[in-house]
């Protein structure tokens, strides 16, 4: 009888064991099939946007991403690496495993020559390195080169993405945060472009002595990652711009003809987008090598066109205390010449708007002899947003005027710079009215047939009152010309936000998927209270080291006491 009971108990135990094992196996199988992910963060940092999911779900072929942020790196960059891995995991899941990636340490080679070869390879691919100070095992410090970027490979196309923000005006922690905020945009913008069936076309307008091609080469090469870029003359031909999603007018020096203006106007009336970059004051900066130059009023016959659209470029030159530094040759001791840095108020560092996707989290934009912009008109169908403006200490000068390098030898007084936040770049969005309404357009086109439109659909344009924002410097050696990086100070090496600003302008105007809205994403920077960390450091160290040990000891004591009380009665 006793053996039978034991057999029944043993049978029930095995039955329970088998049921539990079957349940575990079924649960594991269900978990492997059902992909359940919950984002419990307050700012939804692990939730992809709808446009991103739509693009990822439409990927036809596999994408392979090589991330060159690995190895021994500082803790803030480790946090950035973790965020990159997390967003790539989300992309892989949303794409149905069509995205794969690997992390690579570019400094892994033991041989110095191999390491330098790898660095040069990544530089040639378009990845931008940074130098950091790192501590060695002997207590000293060494400089390390890190490439915080990735190469995205799709159907034989390889595109670089540099995802580390390096804004000199904010702290390193904020730069890391801004980099994390922009990861989804940087990735999906590139993936959307390389996987698209059609590529948008944009064009630089020529024919009015615009900035030479070599001096816009850097931004052209950057734009070529997203668009097909052409250059050409309008020639007064209606419809010649119809195949382009956007056109760029970069630094014209001659007046526009009425025929060319009509072509531009009707292009806008059909929903075309225009990026205007020009000034109403002509300053020959090259003459400064002789010590001085002049600023003269130079109208371009665009005033009536832009006034109808809602803005006016003022024929004044901006001076700003927040400005670039130039090098001056000065006398030392009455005999010896030496080069000294001096602020040059004619080269303002423009402040980007912090509340718009085009300018959010970009560096200040360097400019030269910039003008200002006024918004005009009360048309409710046109929305106007200032994208770039001067600092709180600025002023304007009207032509004609003399500009001398001797002005840089005096320290500017803030009291004399009484104007602030003067607009230099303005975004216009909405429905525009033609500037040629009630005008004899047939005489302008000399009888060419076209359908005249009085009003546009919803469209966009950006007006920038300084063409030098798009101009890159050129290194000339004999007959060879090498374009330099747009926005980089040739003396200090500091990289300003010119290129990011212009790329964002074009992407904002052409974007029809809502991708640019991702640049508005904001994550909260949750930092420890540094004063409390300093004052209560020992207390929290003791809690974190001794606390777990005490908890284990107390738990063991309580468990022993309860067992003794249960089985012995005391």
In a domain, 433, yes or no: yes
Whether 118 and 218 share a structural domain:
no
Beta strands in 20-95 (DSSP E): 63-67
Whether 177 and 203 share a structural domain:
no
In a domain, 15, yes or no: no
Whether 186 and 205 share a structural domain:
no
Whether 187 and 209 share a structural domain:
no
The chain-wide mean pLDDT, for the chain, equals 85
In a domain, 522, yes or no: no
Whether 236 and 328 share a structural domain:
yes
In a domain, 488, yes or no: yes
Reported as a single tens digit per residue, the pLDDT across 316-370 is: 999 999 999 888 776 655 556 677 788 899 999 999 998 899 998 889 999 999 9
| Separation CA 517–CA 514 (nearest Å) | 6
Reported as a single tens digit per residue, the pLDDT across 482-496 is: 998 899 887 777 889
In a domain, 513, yes or no: no
Q: Provide CB contacts within 8 A for 47, sequence distance 6+.
A: 39
Whether 99 and 212 share a structural domain:
no
Q: Supply angle C-alpha 403, 405, 408, rounded to 5.
A: 110
| Separation CA 97–CA 82 (nearest Å) | 19
Last residue of one domain, picked from the residues 157, 178, 193:
193
Whether 225 and 165 share a structural domain:
no
Q: Specify the number of domains making up the chain.
A: 3
pLDDT at res. 250: 95
Owning domain of residue 133: 50-193
Whether 257 and 152 share a structural domain:
no
Pairing of β 382-389 and β 336-352: antiparallel
Last residue of one domain, picked from the residues 436, 470, 496:
496
Residue 446 is part of a domain; what is its CATH number? 3.40.50
Reported as a single tens digit per residue, the pLDDT across 405-432 is: 888 888 888 888 999 999 999 999 999 9
The 8 Å CB, 24+ separation contacts for 281-290 are 281/315, 281/316, 281/317, 281/369, 281/371, 281/399, 282/253, 283/317, 283/369, 283/403, 285/368, 285/369, 288/403, 288/405
Residue 81 is part of a domain; what is its CATH number? 3.40.30
Whether 94 and 232 share a structural domain:
no
> 179-207: buried (b, 16+ CB within 10 Å) or exposed (e) per residue?
bbbbbbbbbbbbbbbbbeeeebbbbbbbe
Whether 171 and 288 share a structural domain:
no
Last residue of one domain, picked from the residues 193, 222, 244:
193
Whether 487 and 553 share a structural domain:
no
The 8 Å CB, 24+ separation contacts for 34-37 are 35/93, 37/93
pTM reported for the whole predicted model: 0.81
C-alpha to C-alpha distances, 518 to 45, 182, 287, 521, nearest whole angstrom: 12, 8, 44, 5
Q: Determine the longest span between alpha carbons in the chain, in angstroms.
A: 120
In a domain, 19, yes or no: no
Element (DSSP H or E) covering residue 250: strand 246-250
**For residues 192 and 55, is the Cβ–Cβ distance under 8 A?**
yes
Whether 412 and 550 share a structural domain:
no
In a domain, 410, yes or no: yes
Backbone torsion region of residue 74, taken as left when φ is above 0, otherwise alpha when ψ lies between -120 and 50, otherwise beta = beta
Reported as a single tens digit per residue, the pLDDT across 270-311 is: 999 999 999 999 998 888 888 889 999 999 999 999 999 999
Instruction: Assign 3-class secondary structure to 288-355.
Output: HHHCEEEEEECCCCCHHHHHHHCEEEECCEEEECCEEEEEEEEEECCCEEEEEEEEEEEEEEEEECCC
In a domain, 31, yes or no: no
């Amino acid at each position: 009888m006793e053996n039978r009971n034991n057999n029944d108990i043993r049978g029930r135990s095995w039955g329970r064991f088998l049921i539990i094992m079957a349940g575990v196996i079924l649960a594991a199988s269900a978990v492997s099939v059902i992909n359940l992910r919950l984002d419990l963060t307050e700012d939804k940092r692990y939730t992809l946007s709808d446009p991103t999911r739509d693009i990822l779900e439409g990927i036809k072929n596999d994408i392979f991403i090589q991330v060159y942020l690995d190895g021994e790196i500082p803790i803030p960059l480790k946090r950035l690496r973790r965020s990159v891995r997390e967003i790539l995991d989300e992309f892989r899941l949303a794409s149905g495993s069509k995205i794969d990636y690997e992390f690579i340490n570019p400094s892994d080679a033991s041989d110095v020559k191999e390491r330098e070869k790898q660095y040069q390879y990544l530089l040639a691919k378009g990845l931008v390195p940074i130098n950091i100070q790192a501590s060695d095992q002997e207590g000293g410090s060494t400089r390390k080169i890190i490439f915080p970027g990735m190469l995205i490979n799709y159907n034989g196309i390889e595109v670089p993405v540099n995802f580390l923000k390096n804004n000199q005006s904010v702290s390193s922690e904020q730069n890391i945060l801004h980099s994390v905020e922009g990861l989804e945009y940087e990735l999906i913008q590139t993936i959307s472009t390389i996987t698209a069936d059609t590529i948008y076309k944009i064009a630089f307008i020529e024919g009015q002595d615009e900035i030479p091609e070599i001096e816009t080469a850097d931004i052209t090469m950057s734009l070529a990652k997203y668009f097909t870029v052409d250059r050409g003359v309008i020639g007064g031909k209606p419809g010649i711009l119809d195949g382009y999603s956007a056109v760029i007018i970069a630094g014209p020096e001659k007046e526009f003809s009425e025929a060319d203006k009509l072509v531009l106007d009707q292009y806008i009336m059909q929903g075309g987008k225009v990026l205007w970059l020009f000034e109403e004051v002509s300053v020959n900066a090259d003459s400064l090598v002789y010590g001085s130059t002049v600023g003269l009023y130079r109208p371009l016959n665009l005033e009536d066109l832009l006034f109808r659209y809602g803005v006016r470029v003022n024929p004044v030159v901006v001076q700003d205390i927040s400005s670039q530094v130039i090098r001056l040759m000065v006398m030392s001791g009455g005999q010896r010449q030496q080069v000294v840095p001096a602020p040059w108020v004619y080269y303002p560092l423009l402040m980007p708007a912090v509340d718009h996707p085009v300018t959010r989290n970009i560096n200040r934009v360097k400019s030269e002899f910039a003008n200002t912009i006024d918004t005009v008109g009360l048309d409710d169908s046109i929305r106007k947003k200032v994208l770039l403006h001067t600092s709180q200490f600025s002023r304007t000068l009207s032509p004609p005027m003399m500009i001398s390098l001797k002005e840089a030898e005096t320290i500017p007084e803030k009291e004399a710079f009484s104007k602030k936040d003067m607009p230099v770049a303005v975004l216009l969005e909405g429905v525009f009215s033609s500037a040629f309404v009630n005008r004899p357009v047939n005489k302008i086109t000399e009888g060419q047939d076209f359908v005249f439109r009085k009003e546009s659909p919803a469209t966009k344009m950006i007006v920038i009152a300084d063409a030098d924002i798009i101009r890159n410097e050129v290194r000339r050696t004999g007959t060879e010309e090498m374009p330099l990086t747009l926005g980089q100070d040739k003396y200090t090496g500091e990289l300003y936000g010119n290129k990011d600003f212009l790329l964002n302008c074009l992407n904002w105007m052409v974007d029809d998927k809502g991708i640019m809205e991702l640049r508005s994403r904001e994550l909260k920077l949750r930092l420890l209270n540094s004063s409390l960390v300093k004052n209560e450091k020992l207390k929290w160290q003791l809690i974190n080291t001794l606390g777990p040990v005490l908890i284990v000891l107390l738990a063991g004591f309580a468990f022993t006491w309860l067992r003794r009380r249960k089985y012995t009665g005391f």
